[in-house]
Amino acid sequence: MWIPGTATKALREARASLAKLNVAAELVKDLEIPKNSTVVEINSGYGFFTYALLQCPNVKRVIAVENNKDALIDLQKLKYESDSRLQILEVKKVLDYNNWISDVQVESHPWEEVHPSLFSIVHVPNKWHGIHMLGQYLKDFHQRSGIQSFGRVRMNLITPSFAAEKLSASVGDSKRSKLSFMREAVSELEILRLIPEDAFQPKGIHVLYNMTPKVESKISKEVPLETFEYVLSHMVLKKNASIRDMLYKLGAGAENININLTFDSRIAVIDATVDQLVELTYHFEKWPFRPPDFDMNSIDPDFRHRKRA
């Protein structure tokens, strides 16, 4: 029998565990889940949120994606009491879609509309593990890959404060990062609730977000995603410096790109808009002396710190 109250320790260093059933129930209400929905829950943990989802009459099926052995034991106990509504996918890496995405088995929906019967909830890990995971989901939004291959799927995030600050930072914010630029380019973000720290083990403030792909990404077809990432990674190395002063980081002679820009490149990186950085990337991509290969590991702080989820 599944018994609430097992979350007395963290799953591992980079993951907090939701440990209060009443809070889980409140969060599920905040999601306003439509009828007959399939919910893909990533990093389900010990099952507190999973249990709350199963109590929601609008939830037809929950697909719990998890790779922690201790958590899987508790989820299996919960599965026996779920009337076949809970499907557990034991994976080695949750971002390795090829090993589990085919098990979702939901009809695709036109991209112009948000998918009416499929959405996901992600328990985001802490520190750079979470940054990496969110970065991959934003790429999926742009490329319509992963769970977004079924259509424009709403993604809800239970996000620790470290990642939340980087994800939600807007123009002029000192926390602005490559992640927040990417988020602005490809998604709409809404804060649903601040979750108190004592709802988790170990304690820590989290934020519940609603993040939905834009119908049209601001990263235009003329701008390859990898080039946009390369430009962003260099620009945010010194966020308070001007874009003009950071151009040299893109390659020897890249200062010459400045003459093609339609905006004032004396603007600080943290004050720049996504549209301005897309324009910069467009001219960099067309620049005849652009480096032929991008070594992201040498310059991207996200790549230097992260481990695969």
Q: Which pLDDT tens digit goes with each residue over 153-202?
A: 999 999 999 999 999 999 999 999 999 999 999 999 999 999 999 999 88
Burial code (b: 16+ CB inside 10 Å, e: under 16) for 189-204 equals: eeebeebeeebbbeeb
Tell me the CATH number at 295. 1.10.8.100
36 with 164, same domain: the answer is yes
Nearest CA to 280 among 213, 245, 232?
232
- Report pLDDT digits (tens) over 54-107: 999 999 999 999 999 989 999 999 999 888 999 999 998 888 888 889 889 999
Judge whether 18 and 158 are in contact, CB under 8 Å: yes
pTM flag (> 0.85): yes
Q: Which of 213, 234, 263 is the last residue of a domain?
A: 213
Domain range enclosing 162: 17-213
For residue 87, give Cα distances in angstroms to 20, 40, 55, 75: 22, 10, 15, 9
Residue 197 is predicted with a pLDDT of 95
187 with 125, same domain: the answer is yes
Judge whether 56 and 86 are in contact, CB under 8 Å: no
Helix (H) or strand (E) holding 267: none
> From the CB of residue 160, how many other CB atoms can be counted at a distance below 10 Å?
24
38 with 72, same domain: the answer is yes
91 with 232, same domain: the answer is no
Confidence at 113, pLDDT banded by 50, 70, 90:
very high
Give the separation between CA 118 and CA 107, rounded to whole angstroms: 9
Place of tokens 């809404």: 190
174 with 51, same domain: the answer is yes
176 with 229, same domain: the answer is no
Known binder of ligand: residue 237? no
Known binder of ligand: residue 188? no
The total number of structural domains that make up the chain: 2
Tell me the CATH number at 32. 3.40.50.150
Residue positions counted in the chain? 309
Residue 81 is predicted with a pLDDT of 86
Lowest mean pLDDT: which of 16-20, 113-117, 305-309?
305-309
